[in-house]
Homo-oligomer: A and B are copies of this chain.
Amino acid sequence: MAYQTLEKVNTIPWQERPDGNTNVIWRYSDNPIIERDAIPSSNSIFNSAVVPFEDGYAGVFRCDNKAVQMNIFAGFSKDGLNWDINHDPISFQEGNTSMIDSDYKYDPRVTFIEDRYWITWCNGYHGPTIGIGYTFDFKEFFQCENAFLPFNRNGVLFPEKIDGKYAMLSRPSDNGHTPFGDIYISYSPDMKYWGEHRCVMKASPFEDSAWQCTKIGAGSVPILVDEGWLMFYHGVINTCNGFRYSMGAAILDKDQPDQVKYRTQPYLISPQTPYECVGDVPNVVFPCASLHSIEEDKVAIYYGAADTVTALAFGRISEIVQFTKENSL
């Protein structure tokens, strides 16, 4: 089971809730943890994914270079806070296909399933679609068939097979700044052919929860808790000054994850700090990964801020679940 490995990881990044703070989620006091120029070529490092790896952590990072070309890079950390990111982007070998075209790669997620680390990202193949790759060691990487036809974004794998099949959340899109977007789930017997597409959750009516009324997309890899799959996702509102991205949580049914059991009506975090409000794309909070310990009742959520830097927020899993149930849309 994938998350057995977590037991040995006794220290995920953590900082206790500040005094006087009553929010269910709180920000790391030294945010951002990764600055925009953390590697020589980078314009910005954000919307990135981390997992436990060996005696520390590994990650796949979106680093846009100074030509604002988007690519993904591997990185390593002992503590999840201080990261060494490779100066060269990931180079993929052929996985289950020889067609590994890629005009660009961005917004990666990483999921450990059974015996390897699966990476999904937004892959440029005649427009954005979901790229898939895997690695066993974060040194050699193998690229597989794209999961879907264009246009798609925000593909997130479940950390276990469901009913014997791989399961992936994604958001069908168009080829521009998509002004709509709902979360779907699809299944595959073999990581090559995908089907059984189901709608999971939609952008909410403006009156019900405006921060997620324009579009939504899956964020971090779902976490299995008693109530089902706990998932952090982003929601977007279209203001008269552009899109604003915030973060919420949802709990999907354990066995039928196209069924939403709970979903936060309020956001968990919205852009409020300078590093979230000011940057290449102002007012963006965009979660892509989390580290958690069920035993310690902790979760550390990694999120991109203002499409420029990478930040961290913390919470107690039990409190988040309770909050999601009590404030469900």
Chain A positions within 8 Å of B, measured between CB atoms, are 22, 36, 40-41, 43, 64-70, 97, 99, 103-104, 124-127, 129, 145-152, 170, 172, 174-175, 177, 180, 182, 184, 186-190, 192-199, 202, 206-211, 237-244, 265-267, 270-272, 274, 277-283, 307, 327, 329
Q: A279-B277, A282-B241 are in contact. Are A69 and B149 (CB under 8 A)?
A: no
Cβ contact within 8 Å between B68 and A241 = no
Using Cβ atoms and an 8 Å threshold, which residues of chain B touch A198?
99
Q: Given B125, B172, B211, which contacts A199 in the complex, CB threshold below 8 Å? A: B125
How long is the Cα–Cα vector from A207 to B207 in the complex, in angstroms?
23
Q: How many Å from the CB of A255 to the closest CB on chain B?
A: 16
By secondary structure, the A interface counts as loop
- Minimal Cβ-Cβ distance residue in B for A266: B66
How long is the Cα–Cα vector from A7 to B160 in the complex, in angstroms?
52
Using Cβ atoms and an 8 Å threshold, which residues of chain B touch A277?
278-279, 282
Q: How many Å from the CB of A99 to the closest CB on chain B?
A: 7
Cβ contact within 8 Å between B150 and A272 = no
Q: How many Å from the CB of A211 to the closest CB on chain B?
A: 4
Q: How many Å from the CB of A149 to the closest CB on chain B?
A: 5
Most buried by B among A148, A172, A180, A237: A172
- Minimal Cβ-Cβ distance residue in B for A186: B149
How long is the Cα–Cα vector from A103 to B186 in the complex, in angstroms?
20
Q: Given B36, B151, B210, B242, which contacts A172 in the complex, CB threshold below 8 Å? A: B151
Q: How many Å from the CB of A145 to the closest CB on chain B?
A: 5
Cβ contact within 8 Å between A174 and B177 = no
Q: Given B67, B146, B177, B243, which contacts A208 in the complex, CB threshold below 8 Å? A: B67
Cβ contact within 8 Å between B283 and A241 = yes
Cβ contact within 8 Å between B197 and A148 = yes
Q: How many Å from the CB of A295 to the closest CB on chain B?
A: 30
Q: A145-B197, A149-B148, A172-B151 are in contact. Are A182 and B126 (CB under 8 A)?
A: yes
